[in-house]
Each structure stands twice: as C-alpha cells, then as structure tokens.
C-alpha cells in the first residue's frame, strides 16, 4: 500500500491511498531481512528519499542507498519542491546536504502517522489481502445476484462464503432483479410468486414478458409464507385484508416492482377490494424488515411481509399465502462453474437442514432445475403443424 500527496493547498495537503500486489508474504521466521514484510505499511517515495538524505548527508549517497541514480533522485526532489511549493533540501558550500525545516516537519509527521496508525493499517491490509485472495484462488467463485429481499438468501450468502462461493447480492424488487438478469447486470435473479399462479393474474402479466422458456432456467430455492404483520396480541383482531379495510387499520405497503406488491394487488383483485379503500396503500417501505419496523414502532397497524420479519420485530403473524422463491438464470449460464457450485450447495443436506429450520420456510426440491413452463404455466404454446398439414394449408 502506498500513500501519495496529490497537491498542496494553502491549508492542508490532499492525500490519496493506493495499493499494489506483490508475492506472498514470506515466512516471518526467515533470517533474511530483505524477505520480511516491510515495517512501514503505508509507503511514499518522497519520504524514503528524505530519510535517505537525512541519514547519509548527500544526494549521491542517498541515491546509492535507495538503488537509484543521482539524476533520478535529484529530479524527484526538485519535482516535489515544485509540487509542494516548498524547499526540501538545504545546501551550504562544504557542508553536507540537510533537510529544510519544512522537510523535517514533513518527515516527522509521516513517522508519527505511521506509529499511530500501524494497527488499523495492518488490519486494513489484512482485509484487502483476504478479499483479493478470492481472485487468486482457483477453487473460489463469485456470483452476482440481484434478488427480492429474503432472509434465507441472507443466510445462504453467509454459508456460501465459507465454501469459497461468494454471492455478490444486491437486493431490489423481483421485477428489477429479472430485468437486471436480462440486461446482463447479474448472473442470477431471485423472485417469488404464488405456487401455480393463474394466467390472468398480475404476476403472470408482469413476469410473462420477462421470462421466456428456452432462454431462462429456474433453480428451486424455497417455499415461504407471506401474511399480515400486526402488533403483538393483534389488538384489532385482523385476519384478512378485508378486516384491514373494515376496521380502517393503517396499512403499510411495498414499492412498485416488488413481488410482494404484485401479490397484494392480486389478492385485492381476487377479493374485489379497491386499492383506494386500503388506508395507507400509498405508504411505501423498501423491505420486509422496514414494514415490520413501521408496525413495531406504531406508525402502522398492518402490512404484508414474510414470517421471519414478524419474528425479528416481535410481531404477530397471520399467514395468508404460500409462495415459491426461485433463482432464475439464463440457460447458457446453467452449467458454468459458479452456478454449478451454487446448485451443489443448495442441494446439500446441510443447507436444506438450515433452510428447514428457519421459521416460515420449507425445502422444495431446493437446488433442482425446474421447468419454467411447468412451474409458471402462462405460455400457451401452439402445437407444431405437421408437414402434411402445413402443405394442405
């Protein structure tokens, strides 16, 4: 890691940090001093030159000690004097070269910073090395995943990281996740719908244009329950969306583009409830956890979310529907090393036991590739005409 002075203003210098890769750190027990990790974790070439001049008393000796030419060291010092608008070296005839007062203070400040920041710098360096080790590990995989927020997916990310599968997860609405997949911004999209939704549902109308048989594949992830979150004891005795309307309960909704918003609108349509009758339909929160927080804080009386969100916020949960959560990918990505590693993890007994133990979740052929047209039967595929029929036509 290196530190560089970008420019000097009238008040303070501007600093930037950078890093570089080198060979693996040698054995600390090595007696070869050149093989040890350099003690100064933040390095700046100017400071090395100033230290050499201070120690050896001449440009020539400083150049020799640093393995550079006299001309290069001289040029570097002059360049920094112009950049910082300060003299760095003081020469007097017959006397050794010395640091100017400014250069002495600069070198002192750098050494003080090194001493004070040694521990956090070492921690930062270790974290960088640990993070970048993924790129140098032939067995590690990184998989980009846009997905509707889900607590089991959060747990999966933690489990996967311990098995050299690093899920780069970005939570967003189900619709946005699939769009990101189609636009090449991710490799996996997580979304959810009710099991076998009807062809005239809003979910069908929304997802049909985004997911195509032959182009996309579904990987089974989980079955989960969505329902009404209400305060402990359910003081308004809410059992359904109809009760929410009848008792004028304050509702908190999810944003457009989320699978939960699609689910709510489908339920309202099926029960012939006009959206404007739901007090708070326009009150939006970005996640299941945010819905739970709004209710727990008394800002709302009810909202649609997953069961684990109710548990985390100490709320009561009234189950309404069971839905499936899928991970979609392009057919061309199904057998890539990263996706194969994900499928293997999802199919493992350890992960399935973890998933089954989570409140509101069930294993459902988890990790298996499922037929898009069978699980989401929205496409009316026309039977192929035989050559004879086509000729007759």
198 lies in the same domain as 226: yes
Cβ-based neighbour number of residue 172 at 10 Å: 20
Q: Which residues contact 184 (CB under 8 A, 6 or more apart)?
A: none
Angle between helices 59-66 and 70-84 (to 10 degrees): 110
57 lies in the same domain as 160: no
CA angle 336, 339, 343 (to 5 degrees): 130
Confidence grade of residue 125 (pLDDT, cut at 50, 70, 90): confident
DSSP 59-73: HHHHHHHHT--HHHH
Residue 304 has φ and ψ, to the nearest 5°, of -90, 125
CA angle 92, 98, 103 (to 5 degrees): 130
CATH of the domain at 336: 3.40.190.290
In a domain, 387, yes or no: no
113 lies in the same domain as 153: no
Q: Name the domain count of the chain.
A: 2
Q: Tell me which of 11 and 120 has the higher pLDDT.
A: 120
**Among residues 75, 103, 136, which one ends one of the domains?**
136
The answer to whether residues 193 and 376 touch, using CB atoms and an 8 Å cutoff, is yes
Rounded to whole angstroms, the Cα distance separating 204 from 378 reads 6
Count Cβ atoms within 10 A of the Cβ of residue 386 and give its class: 0-12 exposed, 13-18 middle, 19 or more buried: exposed
**Among residues 136, 163, 188, which one ends one of the domains?**
136
In a domain, 229, yes or no: yes
β-strand pairing of 13-18 with 2-8? antiparallel
Q: Which of 336, 346, 340, 338 is CA-nearest to residue 366?
A: 346
In a domain, 361, yes or no: yes
59 lies in the same domain as 154: no
In a domain, 192, yes or no: yes
**What is the chain's mean pLDDT, rounded?**
85
At residue 18, the pLDDT reads: 76
237 lies in the same domain as 99: no
Tokens representing residue 360 in the block: 């509101």
109 lies in the same domain as 160: no
In a domain, 367, yes or no: yes
Question: Is 274 a residue whose pLDDT tops 50?
Answer: yes
116 lies in the same domain as 184: no
- pLDDT tens digit string along 252-270? 999 998 999 999 999 999 9
In a domain, 390, yes or no: no
- For tokens 């501007």, the residue is 14
**Among residues 114, 136, 158, which one ends one of the domains?**
136
205 lies in the same domain as 101: no
Q: Which of 302, 297, 296, 290 is CA-nearest to residue 315?
A: 296
257 lies in the same domain as 116: no
216 lies in the same domain as 307: yes
In a domain, 381, yes or no: no
CATH of the domain at 68: 1.10.10.10
284 lies in the same domain as 234: yes
Segments forming the whole domain that contains residue 48: 2-20+39-136
Fill in the DSSP letter of residue 231.
Answer: -
- pLDDT tens digit string along 64-110? 998 999 999 999 999 999 988 999 999 777 788 899 999 999 998 88
126 lies in the same domain as 209: no
At residue 2, the pLDDT reads: 61
In a domain, 389, yes or no: no
């Amino acid at each position: 890691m290196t530190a560089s002075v970008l420019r000097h203003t009238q008040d303070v210098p501007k600093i930037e940090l950078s890093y570089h890769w080198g060979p693996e750190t040698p054995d600390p027990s090595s007696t070869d001093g050149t093989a040890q990790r350099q003690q100064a974790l933040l390095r700046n070439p100017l400071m090395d030159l100033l230290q050499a001049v201070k120690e050896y008393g001449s440009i020539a000796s400083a150049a020799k000690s640093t393995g550079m030419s006299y001309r290069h060291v001289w040029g570097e010092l002059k360049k920094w004097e112009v950049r910082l608008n300060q003299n760095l070296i003081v020469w007097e005839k017959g006397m050794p070269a010395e640091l100017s007062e400014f250069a002495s203070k600069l070198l002192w400040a750098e050494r003080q910073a090194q001493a004070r920041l040694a521990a956090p710098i070492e921690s930062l360096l270790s974290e960088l090395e640990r993070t970048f080790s993924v790129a140098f590990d032939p067995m590690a995989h990184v998989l980009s995943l846009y997905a509707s927020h889900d607590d089991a997916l959060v747990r999966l990310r933690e489990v996967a990281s311990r098995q050299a599968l690093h899920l780069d997860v970005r939570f967003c609405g189900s619709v946005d996740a699939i769009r990101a997949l189609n636009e090449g911004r991710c490799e996996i999209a997580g979304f959810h719908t009710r099991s076998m939704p009807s062809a005239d549902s809003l979910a069908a109308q929304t997802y049909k244009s985004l997911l195509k048989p032959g182009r996309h594949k579904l990987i089974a992830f989980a079955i989960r329950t969505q329902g009404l979150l209400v305060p402990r004891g359910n003081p308004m005795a809410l059992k359904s969306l109809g009760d929410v309307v009848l008792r004028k309960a304050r509702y908190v909704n999810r944003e457009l583009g989320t699978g939960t918003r699609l689910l709510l609108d489908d339920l309202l349509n099926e029960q012939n409830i006009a959206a404007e009758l739901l007090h708070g339909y326009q009150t939006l929160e970005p996640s299941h956890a945010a819905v739970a927080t709004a209710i727990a804080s008394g800002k709302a009386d009810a909202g649609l979310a997953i069961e684990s969100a109710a548990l985390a916020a100490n709320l009561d949960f009234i189950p309404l529907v069971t839905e499936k959560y899928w991970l979609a990918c392009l057919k061309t990505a199904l057998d890539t090393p990263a996706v194969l590693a994900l499928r293997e993890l999802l199919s493992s007994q350890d992960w399935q036991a973890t998933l089954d133990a989570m409140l509101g979740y069930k294993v459902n052929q988890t990790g298996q590739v499922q037929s898009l047209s069978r699980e989401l039967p929205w496409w009316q595929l026309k039977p192929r005409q035989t050559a004879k029929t086509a000729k007759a036509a």
